[in-house]
Amino acid sequence: MQRATEMLRNKGISPSYHRVKILAYLLEKKTHPTVEEIYRNLSKEIPTLSKTTVYNTLKIFIDKDIAKSLVAGKNEIRYDATTREHAHFTCSKCHRIYDVELAGILEEDILSEGHKVEDCQIILKGICKNCLSKGN
């Protein structure tokens, strides 16, 4: 909460109650939530919250580089608070999304063929550790 408020101030976004809550949600839970998930969970605390506000707020966060959107499963937009570089692993059984550390792979390692690379997203798919051990 404190941290979220500060982050917003640093980016020149006025830290309204809703915005702080939404950012805090992204920072605490690291579930790469959809708009629906954010809305459903925060509605418990903020019954008046609307989806429009969640959409508006996430749009601001992305513009100001506080969050990123990612498409992990089939055309489902998910959101992630911008932290350090990492890849995402999507399990095709349980559909959970895991953060995966990169073993020192950065943009420079990829032949960019003259393009100026500003962002790099790596999406892995397969069966997660959990589902494997359950013998699926």
DSSP per-residue string spanning 29-55: --S---HHHHHHHHHHH-TT--HHHHH
Residue placing its CB nearer to DNA in the complex, 74 or 115: 74
Residue 36, token pair as written in the block: 């629906």
If one asks whether residue 106 binds its own copies (CB under 8 A), the answer comes out as no
**Site for DNA (CB under 7 A): which residue of 4, 35, 97, 128?**
35
If one asks whether residue 63 binds its own copies (CB under 8 A), the answer comes out as no
For the chain, first and last CA: distance in Å?
39
What residue type is 113 in one-letter code?
Answer: E
If one asks whether residue 27 binds its own copies (CB under 8 A), the answer comes out as no
Residue placing its CB nearer to DNA in the complex, 73 or 131: 73
Residues 82, 27: contact at Cβ < 8 Å? Answer: no
**Site for DNA (CB under 7 A): which residue of 10, 16, 121, 130?**
16
Give the H/E segment covering residue 21.
Answer: helix 17-28
Distance CA 25, CA 21 (A): 6
- Residue 26 beta carbon to its own copies: minimum distance, rounded to whole angstroms: 19
**Site for its own copies (CB under 8 A): which residue of 17, 84, 111, 135?**
111
Binding site for DNA (CB under 7 A): 13-14, 16-19, 34-36, 46, 48-53, 55-57, 59, 74-77
